């Protein structure tokens, strides 16, 4: 399998992570607060499948529950902590979409603006034309703009062993990431289909900076992190470390789930920029998604825009930086998944924001994140029997 094919498969897997086990028979939902034993067992199953460790936190009307499984450091055997901070990958996209929607609510931009209005001439080449792409199409992945992480050379340079250890500390400018995407043809004409593209959110971050005159991370901090007191959440920029408390992150740095395991904790996340560079912890992510869905961050009109989805299948859809999935028991959850070197994360909540779940796997080649979600909201361990094989990626 080529690197490009692997990238496409991994992106697709993340994009439908919240729709895992949809073929399972319908099950009665377990009322909130009736116990999290199935969730604990699903986390333990991920460790049994090969993931070094898992940290998980859920919150419902009965309070907050946390659990860990496995280890946070393979060398010392130190266990994972419920307070672990970790790289959240594409969960960053929900923060970015929220800021853009806040700017729309303030009348500083419109989601119907063209990308070219804000970033003139940047999206051009091989059939790309920023005059034909709207900001809304960036946020719901209907722009057709090529995903720069699907570039073959980029994959070899940053996701496979030899390239990673040579280039893990490279600094990439967002305009360079967009320029790489422009060397490829679009996936489709704007608005005619759907395809997950990290380039969309690199552009979204650049639009925030153009509209505000400030770094997108500063806007995220002032508009979301500080007001919600998300003390474990940060926008690292080019910082290569993860603040403590934290665990190590591990990857096979290969297209298979076999072979040596490498510590990939230290990395310059500028290769992800506003598509996936952020760091957080499970408690903060639960607080963020709960506040978002309860209307604490957006006016009603903008929240309605965010939760208007493009169907991905019969039970899932993608809104504006927000994924919707109906689980096997009929419960619908909203949130996002994220993957970056050595780290797979999920954060979801019910539409009323009252029942939230966030967790992280500190290995990127195994473990079924959908099983953990099913276990928490449906009270079933059935999905935990499966194992999803992955490799390093940015999703």
Residue-wise pLDDT tens digits, 279-292: 999 999 999 999 99
Measured CA to CA, the distance from residue 53 to residue 50 in angstroms comes to: 9
CA neighbor of 238 nearest in space, from 174, 164, 153: 174
Measured CA to CA, the distance from residue 300 to residue 308 in angstroms comes to: 12
3-class secondary-structure state, position 336: strand
Tokens of 123: 């999206």
Percent of the chain with pLDDT over 70: 88
Q: Which of 252-256, 365-369, 385-389 has the lowest mean pLDDT?
A: 385-389
pLDDT given at position 7:
31
3-class secondary-structure state, position 15: helix
pLDDT over threshold 50, residue 357: yes
Tokens of 45: 């199953």
DSSP letters, 317-343, are: EE-SS-EEEE-TTS-EEEEEEEEETTE
Measured CA to CA, the distance from residue 209 to residue 50 in angstroms comes to: 41
Measured CA to CA, the distance from residue 110 to residue 94 in angstroms comes to: 18
- Helices H / strands E in the chain, number of each: 13, 14
CA distances from 390 to 31, 276, 279, 303 (A): 32, 18, 21, 33
CB-CB contact of 332 with 325 (8 Å): yes
Measured CA to CA, the distance from residue 68 to residue 54 in angstroms comes to: 5
Q: Flag whether the pTM goes above 0.85.
A: yes
pLDDT given at position 395:
72
Measured CA to CA, the distance from residue 285 to residue 115 in angstroms comes to: 29
90 in catalytic set: yes
CB-CB contact of 103 with 299 (8 Å): no
Is 8 or 92 the better-scoring residue by pLDDT? Answer: 92
Is 303 or 62 the better-scoring residue by pLDDT? Answer: 303
CB-CB contact of 361 with 339 (8 Å): no
Measured CA to CA, the distance from residue 286 to residue 87 in angstroms comes to: 15
125-141 per-position pLDDT tens digit: 999 999 999 999 999 99
DSSP letters, 139-196, are: HTT-S----GGG-HHHHHHHTSHHHHHHHTT----HHHHHHHHHTS--SSSTTS----
Provide the 8-state DSSP code for 232.
T
Provide the 8-state DSSP code for 134.
B
Catalytic site residue from 2, 19, 66, 90: 90
Provide the 8-state DSSP code for 36.
-
CB-CB contact of 71 with 52 (8 Å): yes
Provide the 8-state DSSP code for 302.
H
Mean pLDDT of 191-210: 98
CB-CB contact of 270 with 237 (8 Å): yes
Number of C-beta neighbours around residue 110 at 10 A: 13
Measured CA to CA, the distance from residue 169 to residue 190 in angstroms comes to: 34
Measured CA to CA, the distance from residue 277 to residue 171 in angstroms comes to: 12
CA neighbor of 197 nearest in space, from 90, 69, 269: 90
pLDDT given at position 364:
96
Mean pLDDT of 9-29: 31
Q: Which of 5-14, 155-164, 171-180, 235-244 has the lowest mean pLDDT?
A: 5-14
CA distances from 245 to 40, 46, 277 (A): 21, 22, 18
The length of the chain in residues reads: 395
CB-CB contact of 347 with 335 (8 Å): yes
């Amino acid at each position: 399998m080529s690197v490009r094919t692997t990238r496409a498969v991994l992106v697709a897997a993340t994009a439908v992570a919240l729709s895992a086990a949809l073929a399972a028979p319908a099950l009665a939902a377990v009322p909130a607060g009736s116990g999290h034993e199935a969730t604990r067992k699903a986390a333990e199953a991920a460790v049994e499948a090969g993931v070094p460790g898992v940290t998980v936190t859920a919150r419902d009307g009965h309070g907050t529950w946390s659990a860990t499984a496995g280890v946070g450091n393979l060398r010392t055997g130190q266990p994972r902590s419920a307070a672990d901070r970790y790289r959240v990958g594409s969960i960053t996209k929900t923060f970015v979409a929220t800021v853009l929607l806040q700017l729309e609510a303030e009348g500083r931009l419109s989601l119907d603006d063209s990308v070219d209005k804000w970033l003139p001439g940047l999206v051009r080449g091989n059939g790309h034309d920023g005059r034909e792409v709207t900001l809304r199409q960036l946020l719901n992945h209907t722009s057709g703009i090529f995903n720069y992480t699907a570039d073959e050379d980029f994959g070899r340079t940053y996701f496979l062993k030899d390239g990673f250890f040579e280039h893990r500390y490279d600094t990439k400018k967002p305009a360079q990431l967009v320029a790489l995407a422009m060397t490829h043809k679009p996936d489709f004409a704007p608005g005619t289909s759907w395809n997950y593209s990290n380039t969309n959110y690199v552009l979204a971050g650049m639009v925030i900076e153009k509209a505000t005159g400030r770094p997108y991370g500063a806007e995220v901090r002032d508009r979301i992190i500080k007001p919600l007191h998300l003390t474990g959440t940060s926008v690292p920029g080019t910082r290569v470390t993860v603040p403590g408390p934290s665990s190590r992150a591990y990857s096979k740095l290969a297209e298979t789930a076999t072979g040596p395991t490498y510590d990939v904790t230290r990395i310059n996340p500028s290769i992800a920029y506003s598509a996936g560079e952020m760091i957080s912890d499970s408690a903060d992510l639960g607080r963020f998604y709960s506040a978002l869905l309860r209307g604490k961050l957006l006016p009603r009109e903008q929240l309605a825009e965010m939760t208007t989805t493009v169907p991905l299948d019969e039970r899932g859809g993608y809104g504006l930086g927000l994924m919707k999935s109906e689980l096997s028991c009929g419960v619908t959850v909203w949130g996002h998944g994220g993957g970056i070197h050595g780290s797979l994360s999920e954060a979801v909540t019910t539409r009323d924001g009252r029942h939230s779940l966030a967790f992280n796997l500190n290995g990127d080649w195994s473990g079924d994140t959908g099983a953990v979600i099913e276990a928490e909201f449906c009270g079933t361990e059935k999905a935990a029997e499966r194992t999803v094989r992955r490799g390093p990626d940015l999703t």
